[in-house]
Copies of this chain bind each other. A is one copy, B any other.
């Protein structure tokens, strides 16, 4: 099974490269925030992106969307709350849940930061076609499914 080993080896390099891209995106964005005196970490921004799309959703939903633990969300929302960007409200329909809403400040930040994100991802996809990305995504999805069901 020399071929399987070679493939496994390549899969290792592949995941290493994934980390590199993630780190690069992270670094770029953090720097943008710092330059503009926006006190927002990469993790907080991930949560804010969800909320800019639609707020008034549960912490667990945010956890699912950001691929984070619900414990992390408790913590992150505390920190976003401290910064005056979000508020917690008890869900009247299900009193176990808490709904997270943007404050005005949080919404205003979105108007500033969303263009930066657009810009970053446009930059990242220069000289890469939609088809290429689609093909890659199929492969990555296959790998995810392999590990999940394995």
Contacts and interface: CB of A to CB of B under 8 A. Distances in A.
Nearest to A118: B8
Chain A residues touching B, range: 35 or more
Contacts of A21: 15, 18, 140, 143-144, 147
A142 B128 CA distance: 8
Given A15-B21, A133-B14, A7 B128 contact: yes
Interface in A114-150: 117-118, 120-130, 132-137, 139-144, 146-148, 150
A150 B28 CA distance: 9
Interface of A: 4-25, 28, 67, 117-118, 120-130, 132-137, 139-144, 146-148, 150
